[in-house]
Structure 1
Amino acid sequence: MKLTELLNPEAINPELKAASKNDVLVELTDALLRVEPGLNRDEVVDVLKERERLGSTGIGDGVAIPHGKLKHLDKLLLSFGRSRSGVDFDSMDGQPARLFFLLVAPEDSVGVHLKTLARISKLLKNAEVRQSLIDAEDAGAIYDIIARQEEQL
């Protein structure tokens, strides 16, 4: 499944204001709520915080992929956020995270959930892609970059 099939451009926040990991989780959840207003904000944030307690989803190179599973969900949901200043996300390399994909999945979706996480990781492994996302003008440009790069995956 392509990321562009999951990511609605309205769920992209190109200017995260967050200064902490928890604030990032809230802002990314709010971006998701713009396209999935039926979600319970507190439930999503709690699931994400619980996952972070198991170990940071900050994978390094300025990237974090917070994710979690919800019982009542029937499809994968994705949002994206960018912090120009960076946020300490307890990343493996100790560097602040600037690019965030938030993935929320149904509780029973092991395979597609892991494949989507792998697809995000592969997309953001490329330093030029990361830099172009950081430099992108707005949410539309971010979406276009993701769509173009995904064609090459």
Structure 2
Amino acid sequence: MKLIDTLEESSIVADLQASEKQTALEILVDAMTRSHPEIDKHDILNILLEREALGSTGIGDGIAIPHGKSSQVSQIISGFGLSKTGIAFDSLDGNPAHLFFLLVAPENSVGTHLKMLARISRMLKNPEFRQKLLEAHSQHDIYQIIAAEDAKY
């Protein structure tokens, strides 16, 4: 499965304006649930916050991959947020996060969930991809950048 198959353009926040982790997650979940109105945003937010309580999904290098599992979804769905200024996300390196890939998977999707996390991590190892995302200005631009990189794998 490709990442782009899980991402709706309307689930992309091209100018993520938040000063802290919970607000960033609220904005990202809000965008995702606009694309998937059948999903309860409070439930998804609580799942993500519970996951963050176990350990931050801020992996360093300005990247965070908040993720969780929910009985409300039957297939993996994703979202993306770009913060030009950066958001304190308790990242491993202590630096703010700028690039946010949000992932919500069905409760029973162990293998698929891990494969998608690995796919995102692999894509983000490419510094040119990260730089293109940081320089993007719109949902459409971000969607196209992700689609082009995703097609390489």
Deviations 1:1-35 (A, max 9, x none): 10111101111010111110001110110110121
- The TM-score normalised by the length of structure 1 is 0.97
2:26 and 2:74 map into 1 onto residues whose CA distance is: 21
Partner of 2:13: 13
Could you list the structure 1 runs, at least 4 aligned residues long, displaced by more than 3 angstroms after superposition: none
> What is the distance in 2 between the residues matched to 1:136 and 1:16?
12
CA RMSD in angstroms comes to 0.8
What one-letter code is carried by the residue in structure 1 that aligns with 2:19? A
* 1: CA distance, partners of 2:42 / 2:111: 26
Q: Could you list the runs of 5+ residues in structure 1 that have no partner in the other structure?
A: none
1:72 positional shift:
3.1
Q: Is the 8 A contact 2:13 2:139 kept in 1?
A: yes
State the 1:137 CA deviation.
2.0
CA distance in 2, matches of 1:108, 1:23: 28
How far apart, CA to CA, are the structure 2 residues paired with 1:151 and 1:70? 27
Partner letter of residue 78 of structure 2?
Answer: L
Residue correspondences, number = 153
Identity %: 50
Aligned to 2:71: 71
Relative to the length of structure 2, the TM-score reads: 0.97
Aligned ranges 1:44-55 → 2 under 5 Å = 44-55=44-55
Aligned-partner Cα distance in 1 for 2:65–2:53: 14
**Cα shift readout 1:112-149 (whole Å, capped 9, x = no counterpart):** 00000011111111111111101012111111111111
CA distance in 2, matches of 1:65, 1:32: 14
SS in 2 for 1:137: coil
Query: Once the 2 structures are TM-superposed, how far is the Cα of residue 38 of structure 1 from its aligned partner?
Result: 1.3
Partner of 1:115: 115
Whole-Å Cα distance in 1 between the matches of residues 16 and 89 of structure 2? 14
SS in 2 for 1:98: strand
